[in-house]
A and B are shown apart, each in its own frame.
Chain A
Amino acid sequence: MDAALVASLIDRDWDPFVQACRTLSVGTPSRDGDRILVTCVPAGTDETFLAVVECDDYDAQAPLLDFANPEDPSDFGRQWWPQMQAAPYNGVVVGGRDLPILCVKGTRGYHLHTSHSAEQYERAVWRLPVTATLLHRLLHQWGPYMKRGV
Chain B
Amino acid sequence: MGVKKTDIVLLDDKGIRCDGRKIDEPRRIMIKAGVLKNASGSAYIEFGENKILAGVFGPRDVHPKHLANTDRGILRCRYHMQPFSVGERKNPAPSRREIEISKVIKEALEPAVMLESFPRTVVDVFIEILQADGGSRCAALDAAAVALADAGIPMRDMVSACAAGKVADTIVLDINNEEDQEGQADMPVAYMPNLGKVTLIQLDGVLTPEEYEKCVNTAIDGCKLVYEVQKKALHEKFFGENSQ
**Do A and B belong to a common assembly?**
no
B residues at A contact (CB < 8 Å): none
A residues at B contact (CB < 8 Å): none
